[in-house]
Structure 1
Amino acid sequence: MLRYTCKRILTGILSLFVLVTAAFFLTRMMPGSPFQTGNVTESVLESMEEEYGLNDPPVRQYQTYLGNLLKGDLGVSFKKPGVSVSEVIGRAWPATASLGALAILAAVVVGTCLGIWQASTKNRAVKGGIFFGTILGTGIPNFVIALLLMLCFGVKLKLLPIAGLKSAANYVLPVISLAVYPASVIARLMQNTFREEMSRDYVVLAKAKGLKWRRTAVTHILKNAWIPVLNYIGPAAAFLMTGSFVVESVFTIPGLGREFVNSIANRDYTLILGLTIFMGVTVIVINLLTDLLCACLDPRVRRAYR
C-alpha cells in the first residue's frame, strides 16, 4: 500500500510540473499584451512590460516564475494592481468549491439510485426511460442545460433566482446544470457493474441462504459495484472544474470559473497560471484520494503493489 501511495504521489507531482510548464508557455503564445489598450502609448506599454519582466526571454521568465512558485508566490494580477493571485483565488474558490461539492454529491446519489433501479427493475418502460435520460444527460452541454433551466424556472416561471449565491435557492439551478452529466455517467456505470455483480456466485449463495434482497444489495453488491463509480470521481471533479467556467458566467457567480474566463479575455498571464495551478492541484489531490480509497476497497490493487 505504501508503494502504491508513493507512486501515485510522484505521478501527481509530475503531472503538475507538466501542467505548469505547458500553461506557462501557452500563455506566452497568446497574441497581444496584457497592458495593451487603446489609451496606452507604445512607450508606456514597453515600460510596463519591462517592469513585469515580459521583455525577458521566455525561458528566463519561466525560471523566474518557477522559482517564485516554489516559494509559494503566485505573483500579482496584471489587471488588478496591488492584488495578488492568491487573494483572487481566496475570494473566488469558496463559491466554486460549494457548487462542485453539492453537484458531485447530487450526481453520486442520483446516479447511483438510477443505476441500481435500472439494473434491478423488470419494468421495460423504466429501463428505457432511464436509458434515454442518461443518453440526453451525456449529450447535452451543461451551458445549454443552464440556459434552459434559467429560461424555464427563472425567467418564465420565476420560481428560482438566476444570479449570484445569496441564498440556498440560488444553488439549485447551477448545481443541477453541473450535476446532470456526471449523474448520467454514474448511472450508466452503476447499471452495468450492478447487473454484473447480481450474477456473481456470492449473490446466488446469499439468496440460497435466505438473505433479504435489500440487505444483499446494500451489504454485498453495492460495495463491489461502486468501485468503478469511485474511480470516476476524479474525472468528474475535473469536469466540474471546467464546467464551472460557463455555468458560473451564465448565473453570474463570483467563482474560479468566471475569474478564469475573465483572465483569458484580459490576457492576465499570472492569474491564468495561478488559477490553472490551483485547479490542477485540486483535481490531482481528489484523484489521489479516490485512488487510495479504491485501493482500500479493492484487494486486487493492494496485491498488485506488494
Structure 2
Amino acid sequence: MARIILSRLFQGLLTLFVLVTITFFLVRMMPGSPYTDEKALPAHILEQLKIQMGLDKPLPVQYGIYFKNLIFQQELGPLIRKDGVYVGEIIAESFPVSALLGVFSIGIALIIGIPAGIIAAVKKNGPLDYACLAAAMTGICLPSFVIGPLLAVFAGLGLKSLNVAGWNSPADWILPAVTLGMVNAAYLARLTRGGMLDVLNQDYIRTAKAKGVPGFQIVVKHALRGGLIPAVAYVGPAFAGMISGSFVIETIFQVPGMGQHFVNATTDREYFLIQGLVLFYGFLIVGANLLSDLAQIALNPRLRAAA
C-alpha cells in the first residue's frame, strides 16, 4: 500500500511540474500582453509596469523566479491588472463555492446513478433495464449547457420557491447541482450496470444462487463490492471535473465560483492567475485520482494483494 501511495504521489508531482511548465510558457505565447487593452499609455509607463511585475526579464529568468516563489514561499503571484490582489486570495474566495457545488452535484449523481445502474443490471433486458439505459443515454447526449437553461426556465415558470440565479441561500444550490449531477449520474448508471453485470456472471454468484441465497443478499453482500469498481474509478476525476469545469453552469445560474475567474483571466491575459488556477485544478485532479485508486484497492482483493 505504501509503495503504491508513494508511486502515485511521485507521478502526481511530476504531472504538476509538467503542467505548470507548459502553462507558464503557453500563456506567454498568447498574442498581446496583459496591458494590451489598457488605454494608450506612454511607452515609459508601460515599461515601468512590466518591471514592477518582473515581465521585462527573459522567460527563463521569469520561470525560475516563479518556481522559487512557488516552492519556497508558496506564493502564486499577484494579479497584474489589479494592485494589491493576489491569486491565492481569488482562489480562497471562490473555491468554497465551487467545492460546495461539486459536493452537492456528486451527491446527486451517486444517489441517482448507482441505484439506476444496479437496477438495470439486476433486471437485465427487462423494461426497467431499457428505461434506465434510455435515461442514461439521454443524460449523456444532453450537455449541461442545454439542461441548465431548460431547468432555469422550468423553475422560473413553475417553481417560485427556487431562484434561477444567485448563491445566497441553500435553495439557490439546487438547480446548478442538479444540472451538473444529472450528466454524471448518466455515466455512473452505465458504468455501474457494466460492472454489476460482469460480477453477476461470475461463478461464485451462480454458486450462491444455486445454494438458494436470496437475490437481495447476493447483490448487496457478494456483487456490490466488485460491481462498483468502475463507478468508483470514475467518481474521483468526475468530482474534480465538476469543480474545475463548471464555468457554464456558474454562468447560467450566476454562481460566484472559480470557473468565471479562469475565463476572465484568459481574456485579460492575467498570467499569474491562469497559472495559479491551472495548478490548483491539477492538484485537485491528482488528489482525486489518488483517493479513487485507494478506494479501488479497498474494494478489489487482487489489487490489495498486488499492493
Question: Which residue is 1:266 aligned to?
Answer: 268
AA matched with 1:128: Y
3-state SS of the aligned residue for 2:246? Answer: helix
> What count of residue pairs does the alignment treat as equivalent?
305
Query: How far 1:122 sits from its partner (Å)?
Result: 5.6
Cα distance in 1 between the residues matched to 2:153 and 2:191: 31
Gaps of 5+ in 2: none
Cα distance in 2 between the residues matched to 1:261 and 1:249: 11
3-state SS of the aligned residue for 1:76? Answer: coil
Residue 172 (structure 2) pairs with residue 170 (structure 1)? yes
AA matched with 1:295: I
Question: Which residue is 1:54 aligned to?
Answer: 55
8 Å CA contact 2:205–2:223 kept in 1: the answer is yes
Cα distance in 2 between the residues matched to 1:137 and 1:48: 49
Cα distance in 1 between the residues matched to 2:113 and 2:250: 23
Cα distance in 2 between the residues matched to 1:188 and 1:42: 60
Question: Which residue is 1:136 aligned to?
Answer: 138
Counterparts of 1:242-281 in structure 2, within 5 Å, are 242-281=244-283
8 Å CA contact 1:142–1:243 kept in 2: the answer is no
- Deviation string, structure 1 residues 222-265 (Cα, Å, up to 9, x no partner): 11101111111233124313431211122111111112122112
Cα distance in 1 between the residues matched to 2:114 and 2:104: 15
**Stretch of structure 1 that moved more, 8-17 or 51-60:** 51-60
8 Å CA contact 1:143–1:247 kept in 2: the answer is yes
Cα distance in 2 between the residues matched to 1:15 and 1:54: 26
Question: Which residue is 1:105 aligned to?
Answer: 107
Counterparts of 1:109-124 in structure 2, within 5 Å, are 109-121=111-123, 124=126
Question: Which residue is 1:154 aligned to?
Answer: 156
Question: Which residue is 1:88 aligned to?
Answer: 90
8 Å CA contact 1:113–1:187 kept in 2: the answer is yes
The sequence identity of aligned pairs, in percent, is 39
**Stretch of structure 1 that moved more, 45-54 or 208-217:** 208-217
Question: Which residue is 1:34 aligned to?
Answer: 34
Question: Which residue is 2:222 aligned to?
Answer: 220
Question: Which residue is 1:45 aligned to?
Answer: 46
3-state SS of the aligned residue for 1:240? Answer: helix
**Stretch of structure 1 that moved more, 119-128 or 42-51:** 119-128
Query: How far 1:297 sits from its partner (Å)?
Result: 2.1
- Deviation string, structure 1 residues 76-116 (Cα, Å, up to 9, x no partner): 11233101111111111110000101111211221101101
- Deviation string, structure 1 residues 122-152 (Cα, Å, up to 9, x no partner): 6743322221221121122212211221122
Gaps of 5+ in 1: none
Residue 208 (structure 2) pairs with residue 189 (structure 1)? no
Question: Which residue is 1:286 aligned to?
Answer: 288
Counterparts of 1:63-74 in structure 2, within 5 Å, are 63-71=64-72, 72-74=74-76
Question: Which residue is 1:4 aligned to?
Answer: 4
AA matched with 1:142: S
Counterparts of 1:194-205 in structure 2, within 5 Å, are 194-205=196-207
